[in-house]
Chains A and B, each alone.
Chain A
Amino acid sequence: MSDTHDVLPVNQPETREVALEVKDLRVHYETPQGDVIAVNGISFEVYQGELIGLVGESGCGKTTTAMAILRLIQAPGRIVGGQTIIGGEIDLLSLNSQELRDVRWKEVALIPQGAMNSLNPVMRVHKQIADAINRHEGKQSKKASEERILKLFNMVGLPSRIYNMYPHELSGGMKQRVCIAMAIALNPTLIIADEPTSALDVIVQRIVAQTLLDIKERLGASMILIGHDIGLMAQLVDRIAVMYAGSIVEIAPVRTALTDPLHPYTQLLIESIPSIKERKPLKITEGLTHDLRNPPPGCVFQLRCPQVTEACREVVPPLQELKPDHQVACHLYDGQAILQPVSLSGSYLES
């Protein structure tokens, strides 16, 4: 399919509206030994109604990216630069605190990592959702608010009898779904789900995942799904972005990423997924991730990459579009890009 698309300029399958555009986002954590570069100038788009997965090993900056989009980075962390533009107009990173309070949750909502402690133990669940609604839309009448919350419960598959319950009376999966209901209460443009299923067993994981898909279809909201469960991602997301050491190394439609990964890191990542059909030795990449305080010049993956070349040690590979919708940051594919972005590729080959 991708072969038919070798005409240069219009490489997008259909005209898609951008829900979120992240431009050159940088987040540093200050330490006495120097700044830890947790997110190192990443850029990507999330289209309207799309579910994009953000994968990568622990500590690669997935959650930091999400928190930065929500402007929830706390000291000693700090957003050093970049833009996160919602719906083509609002740059979340340049809002003052009052504007931010208005926009957040209405435009971007979060489904938190641990639903277990994301609900206040001394408040009834309906009250917590009602509070979120009231803060943005003013005080609702009791009846309207009840109707609305029950509708939300219905949407996420929760029985109406939990309306008056306290969080400790709910199971883990139910709590997670209450959090989902809370996230969709204001019909946000973008929902960020930070490992929404990590503390649940596989059956409940499936139910929650199904709920997420359902919600996405019904509301037409975009979603960023963070996690390292590639199996789950494969079933849920439309596109997948692979992060390594604070940089995005590859973005591709999920099918392509799984069958035809381009970046060596993605290849190793996919290969490491255990299979129940065949026995295969776990392939462990040699070497460690570099010290994030002091990244080497050139490619972020050079210390562990099996196919490392001279160029990788000197020049940072730019994220370039190799096939329609398939971007990769690797020198292996220099010169093959269908749409050459402003890149340094020419200059170092000659020198």
Chain B
Amino acid sequence: MTTTTAPQAVPKEKTTPFVRRWDTPWLNRKLLFGLLVFLAVLSIEFVGPLFWDEKLAFIGAAPTNTVPIWVEGVPGPTFKAANPDHPLGTESQGRDMLAVLIVATPRSLRVGLIGAGVGMLVGITLGFAAGLLGGWVDSVISTLADVMITIPGLAVLVVIASYIPQVEIMSMALIMALFAWPLPTRLIRSQVLSMRERGYIQMAYLSGASTLDIMFKEIMPNLLPYLAASFTGAVAAVILAATGVETLGLGPTRIPTLGMTINNALSFSAIFRGMWWWWGPPIVMLVIIFISLFLMTIGLDEVANPRLRGLQQ
């Protein structure tokens, strides 16, 4: 038997070799790239105002119908020639498109993050409650979540949004959260159900851990990559739903968001008039956001499930 003579100080440097730090599944290429792009989009909120005037995003702040600076000549009689003061051009209400992007992108992201955050928080609480407590609590929560999943969200959101006279960013986010919780609830419940049968949960329970201890100290750390993956998925879903509602003209009306910009472009027949610089930028921005979130979701999936990592390296 290898018995050490006396308890000595723990040689810490020996237990975690330096090299191992870098050998973690969290350094996943898809995850890192997605995160980088997402942070870049997120930083628009802070970096944008430093070199561009946000006030140009309001109606009448700029001359109308200016083409972007790289377009030569004027496509039609109603348009003005390129103006170096407005590099992405302006639209028919006199908003500067670059300023619109700088103002709208963070707003749309905020709706996504808050909506998904609230949805996940509710989902985690209900999912854990259903999975750990079981019994009638589980039945009620599962049934509710199942029913909510089958209801077409957009239709209900349109009704709710049209009820509220002045929709703000926050209220928009909360309305979206209404439909963001059922999926995480189901997913987390199923994970908790499988997790709570593991030996170490039984051991923790046996050694006197309270239900909260078991939730946060034993189960939660095991689910982190999983929760992160469903969070990024939820952010994308909320932004998509919010953009849909806004495109229908039911979102916030004072401050521009990406969906509202598309709605404006539609109501001013921007597509017929060939004003691609009006509806184009918000769509490109949405695509960038979705791709970054999608990459993060796949990356986190690979972190959570080693089998997906397969032949990557």
Chain A contacts for B222, CB-based, 8 A = 120-122
Chain B contacts for A182, CB-based, 8 A = 203, 207
Q: Does A159 contact B (CB under 8 A)?
A: yes
Q: Which of A110-118, A232-240, A273-281 contacts B (4 or more CB under 8 A)?
A: A110-118
* Residue in chain A with minimal CB distance to B1: A157
Chain A contacts for B203, CB-based, 8 A = 110, 112, 118-119, 179, 182
- A residues 58-95 near B (Cβ < 8 Å) are 70, 72
A7 to B222 CA separation, bound complex (whole angstroms): 62
Q: Does B307 contact A (CB under 8 A)?
A: no
A120 to B204 CA separation, bound complex (whole angstroms): 9
A135 touches B7 (CB 8 A): no
Q: Which of B39-47, B56-64, B92-100, B194-202 contacts A (4 or more CB under 8 A)?
A: B194-202
Q: Does A163 contact B (CB under 8 A)?
A: yes
How many A-B contacts if CB must be within 8 Å?
Answer: 97
Chain A contacts for B221, CB-based, 8 A = 120, 122-123
B207 touches A161 (CB 8 A): no
A70 to B204 CA separation, bound complex (whole angstroms): 13
- B residues 194-244 near A (Cβ < 8 Å) are 198-200, 202-204, 206-210, 213, 217-218, 221-222
B202 touches A135 (CB 8 A): no
Q: Does B313 contact A (CB under 8 A)?
A: no
A117 touches B207 (CB 8 A): no
For A143-163 the 0/1 string (1 means CB < 8 A from B) is 000110011011001011111
* Residue in chain A with minimal CB distance to B223: A122
Q: Which of B16, B202, B209 contacts A131 (CB 8 A)?
A: B209
Q: Does B8 contact A (CB under 8 A)?
A: yes
Q: Which of B15, B198, B208, B209 contacts A165 (CB 8 A)?
A: B15
Chain A contacts for B200, CB-based, 8 A = 117-121, 128
Chain B contacts for A162, CB-based, 8 A = 15
Q: Does A18 contact B (CB under 8 A)?
A: no
A164 to B11 CA separation, bound complex (whole angstroms): 9
Q: Which of A132, A146, A210 has the most C-beta atoms of chain B within 10 angstroms of its own C-beta? A: A132
Q: Does B10 contact A (CB under 8 A)?
A: yes
* Residue in chain B with minimal CB distance to A210: B1
Chain A contacts for B217, CB-based, 8 A = 123, 131
For A199-220 the 0/1 string (1 means CB < 8 A from B) is 0000000010011000000000
Q: Which of B6, B8, B14, B204 has the most C-beta atoms of chain A within 10 angstroms of its own C-beta? A: B204
Q: Does B4 contact A (CB under 8 A)?
A: yes
A118 to B204 CA separation, bound complex (whole angstroms): 9
Report if A160-B199 is in contact (Cβ < 8 Å); known contacts: A121-B222, A122-B222. no
Q: Which of B8, B207, B209, B213 contacts A160 (CB 8 A)?
A: B8
A120 touches B218 (CB 8 A): yes
* Residue in chain A with minimal CB distance to B219: A120
A105 touches B207 (CB 8 A): yes
Chain A contacts for B198, CB-based, 8 A = 117
Q: Does B3 contact A (CB under 8 A)?
A: yes
Q: Does A57 contact B (CB under 8 A)?
A: no
Rounded to whole Å, the gap between the CB of A199 and the closest CB of chain B is: 12
Rounded to whole Å, the gap between the CB of B198 and the closest CB of chain A is: 6
Q: Which of A109, A112, A161, A164 contacts B199 (CB 8 A)?
A: A112
Chain B: residues with CB nearer than 8 A to chain A? 1-4, 6-8, 10-12, 14-16, 198-200, 202-204, 206-210, 213, 217-218, 221-222
Q: Can you name 30 A-B pairs with beta carbons within 8 Å?
A: A101-B208, A102-B208, A104-B208, A105-B207, A109-B207, A112-B199, A113-B199, A114-B199, A117-B199, A118-B202, A118-B203, A120-B200, A120-B218, A120-B221, A120-B222, A121-B222, A123-B218, A131-B207, A131-B217, A132-B208, A147-B7, A160-B4, A161-B10, A161-B15, A162-B15, A164-B16, A179-B203, A182-B203, A210-B1, A211-B1
